[in-house]
Amino acid sequence: MNNFIVLPLLLPLLTAILLILLHNQVALQRWISGMSALLNIAIAILLVSQIQRDGIQTLYMGGWLPPYGIVFVADMFAALLILTASVVGAASLLFSFGSISEDREVMYFYPLVHFLLAGVYGSFLTGDLFNLFVCFEVMLISSYALIVIGGSKRQLRESIKYLLVNILSSALFVTAVAYLYGALGTLNMAHLSQRVAEMGQGDMLNVIAILLMIVFSLKAGLFLFFWLPGSYAAPPAAIRALFAALLTKVGVYALVRTFSLIFYHDPAVTHTWLGWMAGATMVLGSIGAIAYRNVLSILNYQVVIGIGFIGLGLAIATQEAWDGVVFYLMHDMLAKVLLFILGGMLITFARTENLIRMRGLIVRYPLIGWLFLGTTLALVGIPPLSGFPGKVMLIRSAFHEHSFLLGAIGLLSSFFVLYSLINVFKQAFWGPELEEQGVHATIPPPSKLLNGTIVVVFALLIFIGVNAEWVYGFVSQAGQVIAEPALYIQAVMKEQ
Amino acid sequence: MELIMAIMTGILFAVAVYLILARNILRIILGTSLLTHGVHLLLMNMAGLKKGAAPILGEETVSYTDPLPQALILTSIVINFGVTAFFLVLAFRANQTLGTDDVEKLRGGGHNE
């Protein structure tokens, strides 16, 4: 029992409630939400160090021992994701201070962001499948409101589709929960894992597993990403950065938990599906990334490629692959939030989304230009940056397991990332400046706070890349728990 | 009883799918609402329909029913209620701003606008 682990969930929840009451005082809202986001990073660091020292932490809500009641479990994987997510949350909040219009700020923008963060942390922490559904919904309902806040035509049009897709996948989620409860009589993930191991993962459980796979793949954008490019193009840049970095990753987290802890007995069925889906996601994402001349579309397809690449690790499912998944997830969240912040600034300064009409921005905005190049290199996986260790582990694990096709697609997808983003860099930042006098005078330059934020996030990318050995210590602890479900089960069910 | 419930769930799912595939956005919302009703019925049915007293300790009761499915359904109903309300308001706003309730016309011309 450890009450501390509920704190990452509790803090944004209380902050959000407080901010609702203060919704007219914008300056105060900014202070409180900024402080709360920074405090959450500190809490997450404490949580990580505690787990490193004492192993997996659990909390039984209301003192009900598992399998009864709801259990919160913080293993290293969850804690590392919470830490990364809290950095991402803080970065997008700091970005939103300068970029979100005041009418949106008054209309509960900050409370919604904190509710979304609470849902994300809750999803990472919970050890109960139905509670995972509830946390998903907390996150999704906040995201419904965030995607439509402001009410432009494009937002209204896209949010209807986003809402419909997510309502359908949530309905399927509850259907899968119902089948699981009928088949196994429990919803506690550790207990589910035990029961599946006792019963053997037959055809009936495979059907449920694939139903869950469809649900989580819809949320993660693994193969079923048709809704993603349109929806993520609709909201303002700060919200887009938050969505791109966090929402799909929660789906990936759920996939990792489900297919490493519960349904890992029949990889010939489930993991083959995952492998095909991951490969198809990378191929289709790559095609999308090079097909468009719109910066938003290019960036959105980077999210798709990233998800496909993590899917590769899911399909391989060896200890090395899980290490790679954890490492790459952390890198991907940080790199994506930076990429989308820079992309948002790029669109603001160029006053267009169309790549053809951008040129020579590096003269006025050298910092943004060079950081964009740096983030591109990190996403591709150039050695001193954070993308490299994760990519090496994932590709190597694919070749060790003789999945040469998947490994090759993974390698090739990196080239497409490189090509599409370097193309953006070349077109938007190089060349002579466009002759539009007086245009730039109307746009204020980025604030010191914002410049500081993007530099810090980029420094983190370098830090993770350079200190990969040290980070790997944490990552391998996370990977070990994912690879050996017995450790997780033992930690949850020990007090019986 | 289980059989009737199972057939009922199937009918609800079928009607819901039919409505969701419609072009009119109000029908789609009704469809999602019916779909979640179907899911709740399924949840109730999958947990087994048992006869027994409420799970509160008493002197005369011998068998208790499992309270968990009801708790799950209640949670899900609340969530669905909120989401449906939001969806209705969204559809209303979209109709006011975009001037249509036909999803075919909500396609949008790609991303260049």
- pLDDT tens readout for residues A135-178: 999 999 999 999 999 888 889 999 999 999 999 999 999 999 99
Which residue among B40, B42, B83 sits closest to A141, beta carbon to beta carbon?
B83
Cα separation of B80 and A167, whole Å?
Answer: 9
Q: How far is A179 from chain B (nearest CA, A)?
A: 6
Per-residue pLDDT tens digits for A367-401: 999 999 999 999 999 988 999 999 999 999 999 99
List the domain range (segments joined by +) for residue A140: 3-493
Domains parsed from chain B with CATH numbers: 2-49+67-98 (1.10.287)
Confidence class for position A436, pLDDT limits 50, 70, 90: low
Which residue among B46, B93, B110 sits closest to A156, beta carbon to beta carbon?
B93
The single residue listed with the structure tokens 């494009």 is A154
Confidence class for position B113, pLDDT limits 50, 70, 90: very low
Q: How many CB atoms are closer than 10 A to CB A168?
A: 19
In terms of C-beta density within 10 A (0-12 exposed, 13-18 middle, 19 or more buried), how is residue B93 classed? middle
- Chain A interface includes B113 (CB < 8 A): yes
Count of domains observed in chain A: 1
pLDDT at A95: 94
Contacts by A467-473, CB closer than 8 A, 24 or more apart? A468/A327, A468/A386, A468/A388, A468/A389, A471/A327, A471/A330, A471/A389, A472/A323, A472/A327, A472/A389
pTM (2 d.p.): 0.94
Q: How far is B74 from chain A (nearest CA, A)?
A: 12
- Chain A interface includes B49 (CB < 8 A): no
**Count of CB pairs separated by less than 8 Å, A with B:** 101
- The answer to whether A154 contacts B93, with C-beta atoms less than 8 Å apart, is no
Mean pLDDT of chain A: 92
- Chain A interface includes B75 (CB < 8 A): yes
- Chain B interface includes A414 (CB < 8 A): no
